[in-house]
Chain A
Amino acid sequence: MKSQSPDPGPFGVMVHKEIADHIRSWRFSILIALIVLTFIAAMYVSLANIKSAIGNTKDPDHLFLYLKLLTTTDNSIPPFHVFLSFLAPLLGISLGFDAVNSEQNSGTLTRLMAQPIYRDNLLLAKFVSALVIVSGLFFALALLMIGGGLVLTGVRMEPQELLRILGFIVITIAYVAFWLSLSIMLSILFKQAATSALTAIGIWLFFTIFYQIIINLIVKSSLPDPAYLTQAEIIRYNDLILNLQRVAPNQLYSDAVTTLLMPSVRSLGPVTMEQMAGAIPAPLPFKESVMIVWPQVSGLMASTVGCFALAYYLFMRREIRS
């Protein structure tokens, strides 16, 4: 018998179809395999080193077993969250780079637009369907890790740890969302899927590799020699450099997740001796960590929304021809 579910409307129908398309696509299967493999490798390494990490009483975070599972490494491979700062953009780009132009090239966009649907619904459906899939993937991984950890170690989980891990997942999803909306925007801008994919990968490479080099070059050539500066000036310049680096979304992401996954991180900038005086090296409560990363999170969200708004602007008044 048919269920009495309400009419999903054109938007629901489109999201449904897009999700089905993603799940059936080879591209997505390959990316899932890549991320799952990374996850397993990172878990394997951290499980091998978890004993020494927990036993290291000098580390104020040493009692957070599940956070340690995510961050411990013996330096043979980077921890999972660092891996993700490379892989998540790839995931976002690959799910979005041909969102609009492939439909246009195959002639389905005209057919779709001749149906009684709002144009923005198409964009939103592309965005939401990819995000639903990515969220499903990351939540599944996180819950698997927690469950596996519980079974293997039998250690009780702190509520704080759960919140931090969920926060980490949410920020990762926001990070993927940024790259997704960027690549959807590029897929509207460029007619060829290959061009938009290359451009998106170019932007990604620029921010992960070249951006820091360029900042360093500019800083070295234009800032005065630190030896002649007062401490206050050095701190001011340091802040400036950090803020410049934070233009890069991957910097925002790694700042945010590091703070969430390492409760003892108190500040993302330089800290003066006066500020440190009297501070006990102890983990921060969850709320405080969230307060520290809030600017990063809102920065990520803002750039996501910005890209999406630009995509919307480009798409709404564009002439649809095949």
Chain B
Amino acid sequence: MKDPIIQLKDLTKQYGAVKAVDGLNLDINKGEIFGLLGPNGAGKTTTILMMLGLTDPTSGTAFVCGHNATSKPILVKKKVGYMPDSVGFYDNMTALENLVYIGRLNGVPENELKKRSAEVLEIVGLAADQHKKTSAFSRGMKQRLGLADVLIKKPDVIILDEPTLGIDPTGVRDFLALIKQLSRQQGLTVLLSSHHLHHVQQVCDRVGIFVSGRLLAQGDISALSDQLFGTDSHVTSIRLAQPVSQPWQLEPELQAWEAITQISIHENELEFTSRRDITAALVRFLVEKGYDVIGVNQKNYGLDDIYQKYFESNSTKNTSYEKSIS
């Protein structure tokens, strides 16, 4: 079932000489949870703003729910609920008043407003605090109220910008579980951006890695790891009691194994990159040859490594384009 509800085509945004978003192509299907993963200043927020028509792209188009976000932002915003990364509320109003105000702005009929706001407050678990002023709210409560805010308009798509920022671990787990549950129950499409890969890993069906304005890879976690490391995604490192001599007389013999693609030796550390999992065979082989194996470590590539691989190459770049405060 391929039914892209968000289509970005060659989306580019330039700030002076810096390309915040560079030729982004992305399709997000109806009903899926997509995670936009990237470090600070990668252009995630800019991309989201362009999807909502809050910023004009330098070139390219963003179609959301079948409307061009740049020329028809109102139609898009009727269907899309957006929660900004630092969501703010009117401090002099209570949670319920804040919510009702947003409901009214979305044209929710007056007679339905009360019922619907009670409903969404129940969903996000703020029913008991609805008459508190939002100035007294904690970050986690604000985040949940932000979600209620998004839900009251009954959107087709929810866009969450750094929803897990600044909440404690339990709060994060609950929040993500809530998002997942909502998406599954109501068939909502969710796009969430984060620089926290574990959060993204927990809930997302698909992940896009976004660095310096470009989408480097996308797909589910296993597809991503394949895309990145090819099929040679098994690495076994073995530590021996004594350093091996250089050149090592066993190396040609091991090279002959068809599964092994690469061997690297560093004193007493041996690292084998292989097509299959050959850890057990390697250990048996070394023990038979009389080596004292004191440590075996099997590496599986997870999001961590994927993340690391991409971000390491970018960490040396200047970070002049941070979140623009201006």
- Whether A10 contacts B84 in the complex (CB less than 8 A), given A110-B54, A115-B102, comes out as no
- Does A7 interact with chain B (Cβ within 8 Å)? yes
- Does A220 interact with chain B (Cβ within 8 Å)? no
- Does A222 interact with chain B (Cβ within 8 Å)? no
Q: How far is the CB of B322 from chain A (nearest CB, A)?
A: 12
| Size of interface on A: residues with Cβ below 8 Å to B | 27
Residues of B within 8 A of A (CB): 45, 49, 52, 54-56, 74-75, 77-78, 80-82, 84-92, 101-102, 104-107, 109-111, 146, 149, 153, 323-324, 326
- Does A21 interact with chain B (Cβ within 8 Å)? yes
- Does A114 interact with chain B (Cβ within 8 Å)? yes
Report yes or no: A107 in contact with B54, Cβ–Cβ below 8 A: no
- Whether A114 contacts B82 in the complex (CB less than 8 A), given A10-B105, A13-B104, A319-B49, comes out as yes
Interface majority SS (helix, strand, loop, mixed), chain B: loop
Q: How far is the CB of A322 from chain B (nearest CB, A)?
A: 5
Report yes or no: A117 in contact with B105, Cβ–Cβ below 8 A: yes
Residues of A within 8 A of B (CB): 2, 7, 9-10, 13-14, 17, 21, 24, 106-108, 110-118, 191, 317, 319-322
Report yes or no: A108 in contact with B90, Cβ–Cβ below 8 A: yes
Select one of B52, B86, B101 contacting A114, CB under 8 A. Answer: B52
| Most central of B49, B82, B105, B323 by chain A CB within 10 Å | B105
Report yes or no: B88 in contact with A115, Cβ–Cβ below 8 A: no
The answer for the CA separation of A320 and B86 in the assembled complex, in Å, is: 13
* Additional 4 contacts, C-beta under 8 A, given A116-B75, A320-B49: A111-B88, A113-B54, A116-B77, A321-B45
Contacts of A107 in B (CB 8 A): 84, 86-89
Contacts of A14 in B (CB 8 A): 105
Report yes or no: A321 in contact with B88, Cβ–Cβ below 8 A: no
Contacts of A319 in B (CB 8 A): 49, 54-55
Select one of A9, A110, A116 contacting B78, CB under 8 A. Answer: A116
Closest 9 CB pairs between A and B?
A107-B88, A114-B82, A110-B84, A106-B88, A116-B77, A13-B104, A116-B78, A108-B88, A319-B55
Report yes or no: A108 in contact with B111, Cβ–Cβ below 8 A: no
Select one of A24, A111, A118, A320 contacting B102, CB under 8 A. Answer: A111
